[in-house]
Structure 1
Amino acid sequence: MKLTQIKIIHFGKLNDVTFNLNKDLTIFLGANEAGKSTTVAFVKQVLFGFHLRTNKSPFFENYQPLDHVSPMGGSLTFEDTDGTFILSRLYAKGDPKKGVLKVSLNDQEVPESVFFDRIQNIDGSFYTDSFIFNQDMLREVNGLSQAELMEQIYFLGASQSHKLLDLRDEFSSNAQKLFKKSGRKPIVNQLINQIQEQKEVLAQTNNELNDYRELEEKLTQEKEELKKIQAELVELNKEEQKFSLLIQKLTNFKQYQQLREEVQPVSFSKESYERAQAIQNKISDLTADIKNLETQLDEIKNSSELSNKDKIQILVDHKAEVLHWESESKDLQRQIETTKKDLESYEQFQPEAVKLSKLSSETRTKIKDDYQALKNQKEENNNLPGILSLILLVAGLFSAIAINNLFVRFLGIMIALGGLGLFVWTKQTNTKKSQKDQEFIEKYGLDPNVIDLNSLWNEVVQIESKKQTLGQLDQDQVSLNEKIQAFVQELYPFTQRNIQTFSDIVNQLNSLQKVIDQNNLSKQHLNDVAVHLQEKKNQLAKNKIDLSNLFAASKVTDFAQFSKLKQQAEVQEQLKLKIEALQNDLQADLVQLEEITKDPNKLTENKEQIEKQISQKQVQINDLHAENAKLENQMHVLANSDKYFAEKQKLTDLETSLSENVKEYLANLLTSNWIARGLDLASNERFPKMLEDAKKYFNLLTGGRYVDIQLDKKLKVKREDGKKFDVEYLSRGTSEQLYFALKLAFVEQVADKIALPILIDDAFVNFDAQRTNYIVKLLEELAKKTQVLIFTARQDLVSSLELEPIRIEKEQ
């Protein structure tokens, strides 16, 4: 699991900063007090909770924002094979240690256990002891004695070894405060001496004490005797109870024997019975089904009888013809309406033609002849004479007035007189013609000067034709209605309905068609029911055969005998269950009960004998109780001295105090030894696995001076010249380097379970240039296996690693 981003909202002196990290080695470069340790504390506290001066370690100091802004906290982003984890933690007053923690995986909020299960649910102390390297850790190592440092190195393989060592020493110290072999001040030593002195005080009352002890010894003997007799009485009571129980069980045993005699073999198969029962149920169901089907078949036969089906079918087959009649009727009606509209238009626009069409043929012929004669006369007497007379009149008057020649004037006057005469004659002729026109109008009501009678005759022909067509259409309509009415009369006996329209006819035909269809379906259903009925009968016959075969196999004739056989089997099964229950209850005593049944009186005699012994023992116990009471009274008289009892009570108190302190001493001693043994076991399991990696890191840290670490009975290191040294003989600096190497190896050992980054916070601040080069090689080697974050103020270390650092600037 790689830490890829640190996002700080408000924490200590850092506000609104984000650090994007490498997955192997990342360097934070900043001056002292710039915020490097604050960043390390932020990583620790977002992971495991805030510590506001509530932890003894100086590492967990108060990192509240300097300007008291809100919110305090931020987030850490981790990546592993399952995706991206984001841990966001903000300070909350209600829970100042834990704060408000939110865990998300791939942008989906999940329970915090999903993340902490990945890191084995370690706590902040374990992470600090194992993964954080800083000046506090080095100062802690420097404060240890050589022996303590050796222990820290050896027990590093055990989880929480530092705390366990402190706890072991605390229990050992508490034990020594209570007792030392040659000590005088420890509490247990003092109590032993005080008890001895108190016993000497009590010895001064020797005579009374001896008498008291004699009585005490005798009382003890009497009590022992009483205890012995009481134990014997208990055993006798057990024997008596056993005999009483046997007497009770004897009745059950007799019942057991009687039941065994009632057991008889019954040849009964539960499976066969259940199968026969199932077949019997099928037969009953099939019989009921057949009865229902036969009833249904009769009902269908009765309902499917349709009289006059052929006549109904013939009527239904005329449905297409009826639809044709409907279409024909609509067409005739439409033609009649069209013809009537045409005749009405003649009434409106050709009233003269309509009037002529209403006359008889002789009258129309007479009108035609008179009109033709009148027309011929008009052609003969046209207007030419009138026009010529006017011309002559005008020409004669002009000649008589305009020309001075007398002859010409005379000739002009004669021409004018001739024109005037011609004009008068023409006028008279036209007057006669007008009289004939008037006679024609009065006779026929037609103005020959206005109408064109020849074209009017054509209109009359059209009107006559329309009237003939209308008459034919009316006749066709009547004929069609007669057909329809005849069909309706045929339909009525089957419908008994008053039919008015074609829709009524079609609806009735559809209803009759449904009757025919329903009749056909009923017949089909009749066939289906008949087939289904036959199938049921076949199944019934087969089941009866199967049941008969099953009865024969079970040696019964019918189901009643089979049921009786079942009852017998159930009775025998109940007998077996009762026998089994009695047998389980009597199992331990069966052999003895069989013997008792041979001589029942012997059991009664034995019981009476035991009861007699119990009565004797009870008398002995009563006598011993009376004797004990007498002895206790005598002891009370001897021990009636207040001083004696005060001294005795003092001795008792001293002995009680000694017992309690001894228990506490042993508890502390055993706990200390148990912790030490646990550390040995834990270190023996993990420590050898750490040596291989620790050798490499120790070699790098010492510049190749030490080449090996060996674990036999003691932990030893091997120098490059082959010389070996016990750990307690190493220099302080070399011991620190060994401790550093082993701690790194421990982190690598648990990396498969706890893959968290190592945080190194100015742990190499005091290293010289040569040792810094060793550190660079170590860090490069370490970063190949696990993620490392370095927080330093040393530019030379950054330059040696050849990495671009994350700079933390100190606020001005």
Structure 2
Amino acid sequence: MFIEQATIFGFGKWVDYTIDFSSDNAIYIFGENESGKSTLHTFILFMLFGLPPKKREFYRPKTSGKLGGRLTVQDKGIRFTIERFHEVDNGAAKCYTSDGIQQDEQWLKNRLQGMTYASYQSVFSFSANDLSQVSEMNENELGEVILGIGLTGSKNLYAIERRLDDKMGDLFKPYGKKPKINQQLSKLQDMQIRLDQYKQLEASYYQKKTEANNMKTAITATKEKLEKLTNDRLFLGKMQHAQPSIQMYKTISKQLEDFPEHIPFPEDGITRLEKWKEKMLPLKSELAILQDNEKKYDQKIKNLQMHQLEKSILDQAEKMIEAEKRYDHLISEQNKHKADKDKQQIQVDKELEELDLHISREELVSMALSFQTEKTWKQIKVDSEQISLEKEQLQTEQNQIDRQRHHLQQQKSVLQEKLHSDNKIHEWQEKLQAVDEFAAKNYLKTFKEQQQNDWAKQRVRKRKAANYILIGLVFIGMIVGMFGILGTHTVSIFSSLLLVLLGMGQWFFQRHSIHEMDHAFMHEDDMPIRTNEINESEREMIMADLEKQHQYRNQIDAIEEQLKGLEIQYLKWEEKTYQTAEREKRIARQVQDQQLEYPFLSNMETSFWPELYYRLKSVIRMDKQVQDIAANFNKIICELEQIQEQVNTFFEQANREMKNKSIKQKFEWIHQLLDNHHETTKQMTYLTTYKKDAVEKQQQLQQQLQPHQMEIEKLYKLAGVNSEEAFYEKSRELKEKQDLLQKKDSLYQQLSAIDAEQDWQHMLQNVRDEHTLQLQLDQVQEKMKQCTTDLDKKRQDLADINAEITSIEGSDNISQLMHELEFEKEKLKQQAEQWAVVKSAKEILLQTKRTYRNKYLNKVMELTTDYFQELTGGIYVHVFPPVDDSTFIVENENGTRFHLSELSKGTVDQLYVSLRLAVSKSMSEKHALPFIIDDAFVHFDSIRTKRMVHLLNRIANDQQVIIFTCKKEVADTADNKSFIKLQNSIRIH
């Protein structure tokens, strides 16, 4: 992708500014600090990738309302213009190709092949800030960061890996104390120790429970012993008081001998007799009242039966009551519908009055607004607004083309004034040609003289060599011939002759070749040699003038090409203007059609049509509701008339006098009629029920009196008497005998309590003396005192043991600690899972780095080595990537290797720049995007800057490079390359 031109309508400090990038593949943009370089850099990225709304708002110009612009690019043979505006489609891109087709944001993303703002910043752009961050890192960190950039094109890879390491370190370290998992393990260990201590305490609990049980058994035995002693003491005490009771017992026994042995009388006879008599009295009184009430109920029922309604009239009255409910409901609905109708009618009239369209009710009813109408009005509004925007854009384009044409024509005029005539240029060229011919002939003459001197020396050597060879071959031939003559060998003689002939032949050949060379060097050039007509300074001035004239002509040709491009743009502008005018006419026809169909649209702007559609739609809907309410209102009136007819028919039979009364009075009369009937029926029901209850109660009272009488007779029979008086006499006699028996029994009980297991009758005859009883009593009390002291001690011991047991049982430390332990174990599990996730993420990252290393590292490192060697002037000839825990290693021309820590800051910066350029070069095979550098070598010296510029120019042969710099040296070093000076928006070449 090649950026040709950027047009800024408004972005930061730049307003209505055009910058041309088409002069060369390597563009140097020079400007002092605060001159707008970074803003221009951000504008290019904004046009390619867009920006979020808040960041766009940051770059809103102070002196212009527009924010946006255009960027013209060439990509794979397709020339198109990217256009973005902050206020249009939320900053979305519109792309216009050379054939006039408009494309959207997605089309641009497809051209960029998925490249994003962040990815571009990481791969194809870097600045001096990146170098400053690299210089602050240590050796290992720097190696990892550079390797991360070399592998993925992202300087954040190392930061991500460090965050993962920090996260793992925060969770767990094998010998750490502060990480969360280490702290959790220590916490679990402490809790386990406390739990073991609680378990030991729990084991002592069972021992104390055994001791407590044994102590309870001993206390129980002591209590039993104390209880026995207490009984003995009581027995002895009673024995002391037994003598008076025995005497009284003997007296009572003698009195009982005067009464019969058996007196028949029912138990509680008097009480039972009084009871039965008391119960029978109210029953008899109630029975008399019920009999009287029964007669009254019969008379009232006969009187009520005479006032009941007939069955037919009763059924019709009940139907009228049901009709009344419906009638009341319809009246309520009628009032509601009337209120709704009036309210809706007022709302419709109000809406029509607010719209002020002079639409009658009849027109409103017949008006049909379809979905297509809504769509048409919306489209007309959108098209009208778009036409207005396009006309404004076309005007802006026309002004821009006119400004550019005027500027280019001025430049062309200035350059044409600087051109000389063709005769003058031809004269300069002839002078230079003559000088060049003179220099060439002098050079040939000098070269020939040198060759002649060399040939003279070589000729002597060749003659000597030929003579030596001739003499040697003749000598050898003579020796071989002598051996042949002496030995009569014919072959030897022939060989000797052949050697002599060979020696003479090579001697003649060398003589001939020397003669030919002498003849060649003796040939003289017949052309006369002229003297130099101009000196060297004049020659350099002529060459400089010719170079300037050549540059002027090239610039004029370039301007003419640009003027041709502007003419093409103007033709395209005219085509767009024509298309816009046609669209405007088409929209006007659509507007006219709609106004013919809906005359009220004639005096209204098209921008308000969609809103008017919804208002009219609402008014039509409300008017339809008014009509529906009116229809329902009429139905209710019809149904009310039917109900009134039914009521009149009823009163023809029931009460003609009520015929002329109101419907409300008629319903009230019916209610009163039914209420009277229901009240009479209710009273008859009550009276019938009361009568039935009275009869049933009479039967019940008679049944209740019968068992009472039988019980009284049964009492008389048991007492063996026939009258109530005899019954009371026998009761008195029985009572006296029972009192004596009760006293005797009481004495018997008192005496039996002394010793239940002995025969107290016999004991009375053998009474112990008082002194013996007192002695036995003292002994028992002494034993009781000793036993009580022992019991108190054992109870105190048991209380102490129970207190310890209660303390253990009441404590929930074990359960709580076990619960906390399980909770902390679960927390440890979650932390371990979190550590495992982070560990897995780091392993995946490392695996990705290894995979990327195996795939791209060799190519990236080859390019890095090439660039680094060029930037360092051949001092360093190889760059080795990190292996295991090592860092980058560089090798110099002598084979000595150095780590990063052993290099100077400038050399490290050169290595970083080389690696970034290598990454961009590798990625440009897929994403052929321009490479943007923002003051990345601001700290380079002049020599390193020249090497950097030379390298960038070489890279620019395959990839566009845009360099933002504040160093004048860079612009000066970039000789014969176009650069742009950001100062008062003036373009410099």
TM-score, length-scaled by structure 1: 0.43
Q: Rg: which structure is higher?
A: 1
